[in-house]
Amino acid sequence: MKKIAVFASGSGSNFQVLAEQFPIALLFSDKKNAYALERAKNLGVPSYTFELKEFENKVAYEEAIVELLDKHQIDLVVLAGYMKIVCNTLLSAYEGRIINIHPAYLPEFPGAHGIEDAWKADVSQSGVTVHWVDAGVDTGQIIKQVRVPRLINDTIETFEARIHETEYKLYPEVIRELV
């Protein structure tokens, strides 16, 4: 079984879903107050956190992450609501071993606000994408995608909830195929 590290910046709902289905070697968060850290504690998953501002620059920050991943012999890095752009230091060390989930049907609505951007564009459907991470923002090779329709009676909250429900099914399915 491959050793998996999950990266999260916020609530960690995708992390929770994954940790209930796979042995997760560690959770990394770039936010010391991320609820994902509480979830990790409750699930008995080792967690680590440090913030970019604690380092001289992004290279030093990512070197510390690579050191952490290497120490734990991580095979696959799973970004699950990790809101930092992965740069060359981490990308080159873990090339072809970092995946991300995005709450839109890429290449539509890349970036930090995929759901909100799709809602504002008044599209009839959006979706969820799992992709390999590359140097661009949500531009890596697509592994799997699922469309999520926008229903007539949807509010942004119900639309967002259905997108997240789709994420909770799609991400474990893709990880199962990869490991």
Q: Is 65 annotated as a binding residue?
A: no
Tell whether 90 and 2 lie within a shared domain.
Answer: yes
From the candidates 102, 113, 131, 164, give the one annotated as an active-site residue. 102
> How far is the C-alpha of 160 from the C-alpha of 115, rounded, in Å?
6
Longest pairwise C-alpha distance within the chain: 50
Q: What is the DSSP string of the chain?
A: ---EEEE-SS--HHHHHHHTTS-EEEEEES-TT-HHHHHHHHHT--EEE--GGGSSSHHHHHHHHHHHHHHTT-SEEEESS--SPP-HHHHHHTTT-EEEEESS-TTSS-STTHHHHHHHTT-SEEEEEEEE--SSSS-SPEEEEEEEEPPTT--HHHHHHHHHHHHHHHHHHHHHHH-
pLDDT of residue 19: 98
pLDDT of residue 1: 81
Q: Which amino acid is at 116?
A: E
Domain count along the chain: 2
Q: Is 24 annotated as a binding residue?
A: no
> Angle 36-82-59 (CA atoms, 0-180°, nearest 5)?
120
Parallel/antiparallel/unpaired status of strands 125-132 and 98-102: antiparallel
Q: Is 84 annotated as a binding residue?
A: yes
Residue 40's domain spans which residues? 1-95
Q: Is 13 annotated as a binding residue?
A: yes
Tell whether 88 and 111 lie within a shared domain.
Answer: no
Q: Is 41 annotated as a binding residue?
A: no
Q: Is 130 annotated as a binding residue?
A: no
By CB atoms closer than 10 A (0-12, 13-18, 19+), residue 56 is exposed
Tens digits of pLDDT across the chain (179 residues): 899 999 999 999 999 999 999 999 999 999 999 999 999 999 999 999 999 999 999 999 999 999 999 999 999 999 999 999 999 999 999 999 999 999 999 999 999 999 999 999 999 999 999 999 999 999 999 999 999 999 999 999 999 999 999 999 999 999 999 99
Q: State which of 95, 110, 128 marks the end of a domain.
A: 95
164 is catalytic: no
Which residues, at least 6 apart from 110, have a Cβ–Cβ distance to it below 8 Å?
Answer: 102, 104, 137, 138, 139
Q: Is 88 annotated as a binding residue?
A: no
Tell whether 14 and 68 lie within a shared domain.
Answer: yes
CATH number at residue 68: 3.40.50.170
Question: Cα-flanking dihedrals φ and ψ of residue 137, to 5°?
Answer: -95, 110
Tell whether 77 and 106 lie within a shared domain.
Answer: no
Q: Is the model's pTM score more than 0.85? A: yes
